[in-house]
Chain A
């Protein structure tokens, strides 16, 4: 029985049909070919810690959904934009605000990261930023042409400029925003 005869394309067609996260984990650890093809056919990822992002994310260039609820910075967002151009759903909502001993801790994010996402990920349609306290979304709203859902609930520092940009953006029917 010769089992090495599946080429990457054929294996890809099979792994596209494996959806369960645990099954995908198993198949990726089978051998190097399966690791590679699992990476190419993976559509979603939830990241717990970003320290090794640069190591593992390049295996997943076709990611459509990216979730992360930890502190994130501009460089990491730029890296995400560059590595996963097919991104459609970005869920960075937090369960609760980050605190250290004395104060709330903020993400180290300016405009750059979201700009890169707006520029690099043309299919981006859903962005969830619940409780990301001090982000500004002006450029994202302007750049991401296919954005239809934007969740800014509990983002207490949304600026007037943000609201203005969203006002201009929200004219299309079917677009939705959660704020407050």
Chain B
């Protein structure tokens, strides 16, 4: 997935793209990193099509929905991405990945990262952070999940009781084969 052949500039592999966040911070990132964000890629390509003369010059791409603190973390995650998209195929590897996912901190951080990754259409990141959040939900009580995510239950008391009873008497989920 390389666009370098299109670019007459031989040093294009280190070409930089400038991203501007919601708090007006400017980030100069390598093209290869920026292109992982499909929203940026789309914008960049549209710009190129619209203005051939501007080719190679550094356009500033505004990201009004992304805060600088979040973008910085996404970029650093992006740089660490393995070249291959190899899926963890053994238990040990999966455990390592799980540990890695744990490092991404509080659910609040993860929610921000997910929203930004979603907006930027950054697929690998979205997958990673979604799984990180899903890890946190494993084997936890309702109360724990609420506290952990800072969510207030908004059911009427009798409503919640009804749902709980349903689970006890009416149905359950089925374990995967």
Q: Is the CB of B169 within 8 A of A3?
A: no
Instruction: Select one of B108, B141, B153, B173 contacting A24, CB under 8 A.
Output: B173
Q: Is the CB of A13 within 8 A of B174?
A: no
Cβ contacts under 8 Å, A47 to chain B: 170-171
- Bound together, the chains give a CA A169 to CA B149 distance in angstroms of 52
- Bound together, the chains give a CA A67 to CA B170 distance in angstroms of 12
Interface residues of B, dominant DSSP: helix
Cβ contacts under 8 Å, A5 to chain B: 111-112, 115
Expressed in whole angstroms, the minimum distance between the Cβ of B132 and any Cβ of chain A is: 9
Q: List the count of A-B residue pairs having beta carbons below 8 Å apart.
A: 114
A172 within 8 A of B: no
Q: Which among B53-61, B81-89, B158-166 touches the partner chain?
A: B158-166
- Bound together, the chains give a CA A23 to CA B172 distance in angstroms of 11
B160 (CB) vs chain A CBs: closest residue:
A29
Q: Is the CB of A3 within 8 A of B142?
A: no
Q: Is the CB of B163 within 8 A of A67?
A: no
A30 within 8 A of B: yes
Further contacts, 9 of them, CB under 8 A, given A14-B130, A29-B164, A44-B176 = A5-B112, A13-B126, A17-B131, A20-B139, A20-B173, A30-B153, A45-B174, A47-B170, A47-B171
| Interface band, chain B | 35 or more
| Interface band, chain A | 35 or more
Residues of B within 8 A of A (CB): 106-108, 111-112, 114-115, 118, 126, 130-131, 133-134, 137-142, 145-146, 149-155, 160, 163-164, 166-167, 169-176
Q: Is the CB of B163 within 8 A of A28?
A: yes
Q: Is the CB of A67 within 8 A of B174?
A: yes
Residues 28-51 of chain A: 1 if any B CB is under 8 Å from the residue's CB, otherwise 0? Answer: 111110110000001011111101
Expressed in whole angstroms, the minimum distance between the Cβ of B39 and any Cβ of chain A is: 15
Expressed in whole angstroms, the minimum distance between the Cβ of A41 and any Cβ of chain B is: 11
Cβ contacts under 8 Å, B118 to chain A: 9-10, 13
Cβ contacts under 8 Å, A10 to chain B: 114-115, 118
Expressed in whole angstroms, the minimum distance between the Cβ of B10 and any Cβ of chain A is: 40
Residues of A within 8 A of B (CB): 1-6, 9-10, 13-15, 17-32, 34-35, 42, 44-49, 51-52, 55-56, 65, 67
Instruction: Select one of A3, A23, A55 contacting B149, CB under 8 A.
Output: A3
**Which of A22, A30, A46, A56 has its CB near the most chain B CB atoms (within 10 A)?**
A30
- Bound together, the chains give a CA A23 to CA B173 distance in angstroms of 10
**Which of B151, B167, B173 has its CB near the most chain A CB atoms (within 10 A)?**
B173
Cβ contacts under 8 Å, B115 to chain A: 5-6, 10
Q: Is the CB of A46 within 8 A of B146?
A: no
Q: Is the CB of A46 within 8 A of B163?
A: no
Jot down 26 A-B pairs with beta carbons below 8 A, ordered by A: A1-B106, A5-B111, A5-B112, A9-B118, A14-B137, A17-B130, A17-B131, A17-B134, A20-B138, A20-B175, A21-B175, A23-B139, A25-B173, A26-B141, A26-B145, A28-B163, A29-B155, A29-B160, A29-B163, A34-B151, A44-B176, A45-B172, A46-B172, A46-B173, A48-B172, A52-B166
